[in-house]
Amino acid sequence: MIAGNGSASSGGVVSAALDHFGARTLAALPPRVFPVALDVGAGSGLSLATLGDRCPTLLAVDLDPAALPDGATAAQWSATCLAADAEHLPVRDGVVDLIHWGFLAPHVRDLQAALREAARVLRPGGTFAAVTWVSRGGSPLTGIMSDLLARCQSQPDRARAAWAEVATRSERFADECAVAGLDVWYTTKHEWFVMADSTSHWRASLLGETTGLSRALWALNKDDRAAILREFSAAASQYILADGQLSIPCRAVVLMAERP
């Protein structure tokens, strides 16, 4: 396990973790150019800067058209943005040199179908690079927030079951890749401690992020949102250091595979 730490004071806490683990994933790639790359679950384009340096043709795919990179970001890295499902990619068989999944696995409806689709569009010898959380969003605070949100929703048992499924997926991810026809040649766990100035900074950052948790928070009425944030701050107090900062452990698995 590789450990490290970093500050999130200059940006969003969740984005800081995504940036860190995404960089670990891309650093593990073979040292070569990938003529055609596909970033599935691209979101706002956090990975484009790193991928763009090594991928002359870059396709950014996300199920939500509104989540895709804006025109300026896409133009900066000459990326083509496509609104599509990971299980039904609008790409021909065997034409992609690199597929990148940045924390996509917990969000696909059918993990095996999405992995088979990745194997379909990869060239023989093409690389599948993925990073996924080690259960419950990778961080104890993410799990705490999710449990609090589930309590305000109509089906808390279903929400808890969904987190259990995420944990199971991360544990069996390499096996699922093999079943889909991908040869796994690298896998490692990373632990990283995200530093935040205070619990209020973490809360403000979470509310400002464009993530599922932040959208769920803003969907609540004002009183419910305030109650959840108070309980969240109390639960987060166990991670406060002597200098008042928060130190939150985040854990992820980086995996590399190849299409034979």
How many CB atoms lie under 10 A from the CB of residue 128? 25
235 versus 176: which is more confidently predicted? 176
pLDDT for the residue numbered 240: 77
225 versus 138: which is more confidently predicted? 225
213 versus 4: which is more confidently predicted? 213
Residue 246 has pLDDT above 80, yes or no: no
Residue 158 has pLDDT above 60, yes or no: no
pLDDT for the residue numbered 4: 45
182 versus 161: which is more confidently predicted? 182
CA 68 – CA 82 distance, rounded (Å): 8
pLDDT for the residue numbered 185: 94
Average pLDDT over residues 212-220: 71
What are the pLDDT digits (tens) for 35-53?
Answer: 999 999 888 777 887 788 8
CA 100 – CA 127 distance, rounded (Å): 9
Residue 34 has pLDDT above 50, yes or no: yes
pLDDT for the residue numbered 1: 40
Give the structural domain span for 231: 2-258
Percent of the chain beyond pLDDT 70? Answer: 72
CB 255 within 8 A of CB 175: no
Residue 153 has pLDDT above 70, yes or no: no
CATH number at residue 159: 3.40.50.150
Q: How far is CA 46 from CA 57, 185, 210, in A?
A: 17, 25, 12
Number of domains the chain contains: 1
Percent of the chain beyond pLDDT 90? Answer: 29
Q: How far is CA 225 from CA 112, 193, 222, 255, in A?
A: 36, 26, 5, 36
CB 99 within 8 A of CB 121: yes
Scored b (16 or more CB within 10 A) or e, 160-189 reads eeebeebbebbeebbebbeebebebeeeee
What are the pLDDT digits (tens) for 87-117?
Answer: 999 999 999 999 999 888 877 888 899 999 9
Radius of gyration of the chain (CA): 18
pLDDT for the residue numbered 28: 86
Average pLDDT over residues 14-38: 82
What are the pLDDT digits (tens) for 60-95?
Answer: 999 888 878 888 888 888 889 999 999 999 999 999
What are the pLDDT digits (tens) for 110-141?
Answer: 889 999 999 999 999 999 999 887 755 556 66
